[in-house]
Amino acid sequence: MELMKTTLVGWIALVCIAFWSSGCEFRRVVVNAPIAADTLQRLNPGEDSLHDIVDVLGAPDEIDAKTSGMVFRYRYGDSKTMRVNFGWLLRLVLPFAPSMNLGRGEGDTQVLHIALNQDGTFEHYFIQDPPDPPGFWFWPF
């Protein structure tokens, strides 16, 4: 008997949580894989060729000219969005659910900049410190 009671209460709780949670939304968009800074230690200035760089990091997202040589650029992006529809709760007492949304999104990008000499050998790199990962929060104010 106790088992039946617990099961029924469990199912009711699950349905209630699913119903209430329908008013929330968690979205994430990730572009490319994070750039691992430690892999860059393998590159030797003036020695490693363009193909050695590609073997370590893959093909770049962008190539730009510089005074002598070129620049490879790699990008990584991560964004998180959360939204809560407080109007959804009114479904419990009203026949309709007015829309009362509060939402917020945060995004981070990381850029790796690799400079090559005129002869195509590795010159230097710049990379920003890994950004704090964006969080989920709905309060926009």
Partner 1 sequence: MTNQHQGLWIINPVIWRILTRCVGVMVLMGVCMGCAFVRGEMGDPFLEDRVKELKKGQTTRQEVALRFGAPDEIVQVNDYDIFHYRRFDSKMGWLLFFSRLNVGSDHLWVFFNPQGIVEDVIFGTRTDGLEFQIWPFGE
Positions in the binding site for partner 1 (CB under 8 A): 1, 4-5, 7-8, 11, 14-15, 18, 21-22, 24-33, 50-51, 54, 58-61, 63-65, 68-70, 80, 118, 120, 136
Tokens of 126: 């710049």
CB of 22 to partner 1, least distance (A): 7
Nearer to partner 1, 25 or 108 (CB): 25
Q: Which residue has the tokens 């002598």?
A: 68
DSSP characters over 13-57? HHHHHHHHHTTEEEEEEEESPPP-GGGGGG--TTT-BHHHHHHHH
CB of 126 to partner 1, least distance (A): 18
CB of 66 to partner 1, least distance (A): 8
**Length of the chain, please?**
141
Given a contact cutoff of 8 angstroms between Cβ atoms, the answer to whether 126 and 89 are in contact is: no
Nearer to partner 1, 44 or 119 (CB): 119
Nearer to partner 1, 41 or 67 (CB): 67
Nearer to partner 1, 26 or 126 (CB): 26
Nearer to partner 1, 6 or 128 (CB): 6
Measured distance CA(135)–CA(138) in Å, rounded: 10
CB of 96 to partner 1, least distance (A): 20
CA-nearest of 28, 42, 13 to 133 is 28
